[in-house]
Each structure stands twice: as structure tokens, then as C-alpha cells.
Amino acid sequence: MRIHNFKGGVHPPQAKNTMECSTVSVGVPEKIVIPMTQHIGAPCQVLVKKGDYVKVGQVIGNTEAYISAPVHSSVSGTVTAVDERIISGSKPVVCVEIKPDGLQELSEDIAVPIVDSKESFVKAIRDSGLTGLGGAGFPAHVKLNPPKDTKIDTLIINAAECEPYITSDYRECMENTGDIIEGINHVLKWTGIPRALIGIEDNKPGAIKKLGEAVKDYSHITVHSLKTRYPQGAEKTLIKTLTGREVPPGKLPHDVSCLVMNVASVAFIAEYLKTGMPLIKKRITVDGSAVKIPGNVYALIGTPVKDVFNFCGGFSAEPKKLIMGGPMMGVALYSADLPVMKYTNALLALDEKEGSIPGEYSCIRCGRCVKACPMNLLPFEIDRLVKARLHDDLDKLNIMDCMECGSCVYACPSKRLIVQSIRLGKDILRRAAKK
């Protein structure tokens, strides 16, 4: 199959320091904080109150809204607080705080789901609480159930993992190969999609080999080595690379007959259909210049970030910046007390040298941001309009199509904080649309 090229992109240092670090469990912390919003869509309504005893896998938050996903307790213990808190991304969200009892007693509601149709498959995935594990947090059951007039002919499995530092998906490929293939086959069977393409960057030869061996008996699943270039793993660029199809502005993958899922998401589907255990833990890469012992860990959802860093030996230097996610698209954390979320794939601690933000200089109109943008936008012009408060013209420049990959900022010699401007511009347009 021919591999295509997407426009733009950059080549940041890969810094895949933890590729050969097998995943180890952090264990049960002294406190768990579980936000009712860990996904794109409607927040969950709290189903427990202070003083309640909860068990592992118990639903503690849910909603009737379709674009949402239930939230489960990752521990057994006593609810010590239900209140609104500021979490990653500086958003106030209702959270449930639990003091674990260390017993990890399982909920009686945990049961292997009965799946005998597409409808029951989609319901099972919703009940599992699965959202995109690559970092986007989109409810998986919505993605698996596109509009009825849509014909999907290609399932794309994202194993590219193009962000610097992060190796959690690589470890998924190396440690959980069987569930990845089993999960892909489940998705193909119940959605009726005829083929699956696994895309993985060529800086991961071990995973390419292992996945290739695992699919040799499946003609409908193929593994494709892709050029290492950021943001190769972004949904729209991955579709372009593997199929040559371009998702039009304002459209979604199903508009070009594709469905894209993260490699860890399909592996979880296989595990859930065998065990009935909902999404309560996450594989995370812990790295950065201020981390004493970098590695890959399993952390229960709701575990305080500081507990994860402490498990990895603490800090070798005073961290200048903590990031949830990768350095290109991750979110800076204002506190190490914030919890691990469903979409957390990395925790980075950067020292003074690596974590300091260089000062902005005037735009010199060099066009490097335009050349680097994979979405064919004019980043420098969007930046100018936002700063000049000329918000009426932002729609004309397709600002909402920006994936916030940060390629423009990386390429900019003046170190303009373009993505911040774009996020601000998007928020202004969303607020205006609500009015």
C-alpha cells in the first residue's frame, strides 16, 4: 500500500528515553480524586455522597447525555468529599474524593458484557467508560456509532505516538500485543468495517516487528511503518498518510469513510469484553529533565500526580514546569495535587533550563509557521487578529480547524505563543455562538 505525505510538520527531538522501561504499578494511593468530566461532552452527575462506601468499578458518575461517558471508582473506600475543584486545563469540575481502604473490593456490578449485535457492542463500550486513550478524551461509543448514512471502509489504529518523551503506547504494543489484535477484530466484527490499518512511526522498529508478526494470519489487518515526523499521529494527518484522503474543514473522519482509534483503546476493548472491568487505570510515561527515575507506570485514575512522581523517585531538580501529556500538546499543571485522568498518557517534570519559556519577539513574517502547519492555516495572521481583537475575521481563517499541535510555535524563530492565541480565539468564538 502506498504511504502518502501530509503537509507541514516538524522534527522535535524524540527523547524516547523510556522505550525499554516495562510498565510497573504505582499501587493504591492514600487519596483518590475523580472528576466528573474526563471526556469531551456533557459532565456526569454525581451518584454518591460524602460518607458513602464505594467499591472498585462502581459507577459514581453518569448522565443521560449521549456524548458523555460514565465514571467509575478506581478503589474501594469511603467518599470523603464531593465538591467543585479546578483540575488540569483550569476548569472547575465537580469531583469525588475517596479515601481508599486498601482492600480493593470489587463492585457486584462488574460482569462480562453480553455482546451479540452492534447495538449491544456500542452499549458495552459506553458502560465501560472508555474515552480516547490517546489524549483526546472523545467518548469511544460515539465514535463507534457514526451517522446511519455513513459508510466506513477503513479502521485506522493510531500507534504513531509522535509526541516527544511519550512511550506508553509503545509499551502497549510490546506488552499487550494480543489484546490489540483481539480488540481490532472486535471492532471490525461489530461495526462491519472490512479492514484495519495500523500506523506506527519508523522510530519504533521493535513494535513494528511484533505487531507485524501478530497480524500475519489476518489479511484484513496490516501494519504500516510511517516516517517519523510530528504530528504524524494526529487524526487527520494519519488519515492522509495511510489513505491519501483529506478530511475537509469542519468535517470528521467518518466523512471520508474512516474511523480512527488509539492502540490502547482497542486493547482495552478486548480486556473489557473478557473481564467486565471498566476503565479505572491508565498506562503513563513519567519523564523529563527533573524526574529522578523515568519510566512507564500503571496508575489508578484519580491518583494525585505527586504520588506518581514520588513513585518514580521524586525530582532530581526543582521542577520549573509540570505537564500532563507531551511537550507539544500537553497541559501545564498548576499543582502536583491534580489527579490522573482517563486521557493522561504522560506526566513530565521539566527543570529550569528545559521548562522556561523564551520571550516573544515581533513576528518577522518569515512564513515558517505556515510551512509547518499541517492544516494549511495562516497561524501568524490568526495570532495577529486575536491580539488585535479582530474576532469577526477569525472564522474566515478556519481557526476551528486548528488541532493545536504546536508545530507553528516550534518553527517560529520569534517564539510567538501562537497556540495560546488560537485557544483564546476559539474560546471567544464559542462564547459568541452560545450568545
pLDDT of residue 432: 85
Q: How far apart are CA 147 and CA 57, in angstroms?
A: 31
pLDDT category at 318 given cuts 50, 70, 90 is: very high
- Predicted confidence band at 87 (pLDDT cuts at 50, 70, 90)? confident
Query: Region 87-103: what's the mean pLDDT?
Result: 89
Check residue 351 and give its pLDDT. Answer: 96
Q: Is the pLDDT of residue 241 over 70?
A: yes
Average pLDDT for residues 56-62, to the nearest whole number? 98
Higher pLDDT, 390 or 283: 283
pLDDT for 136 equals 75
Query: How high is the pLDDT of residue 90?
Result: 66
pLDDT-derived band of residue 135, with 50, 70 and 90 as boundaries? confident
**Is pLDDT above 70 for 76?**
yes
pLDDT at 110: 97
Regarding pTM above 0.85, the answer is yes
d(CA 73, CA 104): 10
Q: Structural domains in the chain? A: 118-275 (3.40.50.11540), 368-434 (no CATH)
- CB contact at 8 A, 90 and 334: yes
Q: Report the chain's mean pLDDT, rounded to a whole number.
A: 95
Using the predicted structure, report yes or no on whether residue 89 has a pLDDT greater than 80. Answer: no
Which pLDDT tens digit goes with each residue over 374-402?
999 999 999 999 999 888 888 889 999 99
Distance CA 309, CA 191 (A): 40
331-363: pLDDT as tens digits: 999 999 999 999 999 999 999 999 998 889 999
Q: pLDDT band for position 249 (50/70/90)? A: confident
Q: pLDDT, tens digit, for every residue of 156-189?
A: 999 999 999 999 999 999 999 999 999 999 999 9
Report the pLDDT value the prediction gives residue 319, as an integer from 0 to 100. Answer: 96
pLDDT of residue 162: 95
pLDDT digits (tens, 9 = 90+) for 141-155: 999 999 988 999 999
Which 3-state string (H, E, C) describes the chain?
Answer: CCCCCCCCCECCCCCCCCCCCCEEECCCCCCEEEECCCCCCCCCEECCCCCCEECECCEEEECCCCCCCCEECCCCEEEEEEEEEECCCCCEEEEEEEEECCCCCECCCCCCCCCCCHHHHHHHHHHHCCECCCCCCCEHHHHCCCCCCCCCCEEEEECCCCCCCCCHHHHHHHHCHHHHHHHHHHHHHHHCCCCEEEEEECCCHHHHHHHHHHCCCCCCEEEEEECCCECCCCHHHHHHHHHCCCCCCCCCHHHHCEEEEEHHHHHHHHHHHHHCCCCCEEEEEEECCCECCCEEEEEECCCEHHHHHHHCCCECCCCCEEEECCCCCCEEECCCCCECCCCCCEEEEECHHHHCCCCCCCCCCCCHHHHHCCCCCCHHHHHHHHHCCCHHHCHHHCHHHCCCCCHHHHHCCCCCCHHHHHHHHHHHHHHHHHC
pLDDT of residue 392: 83
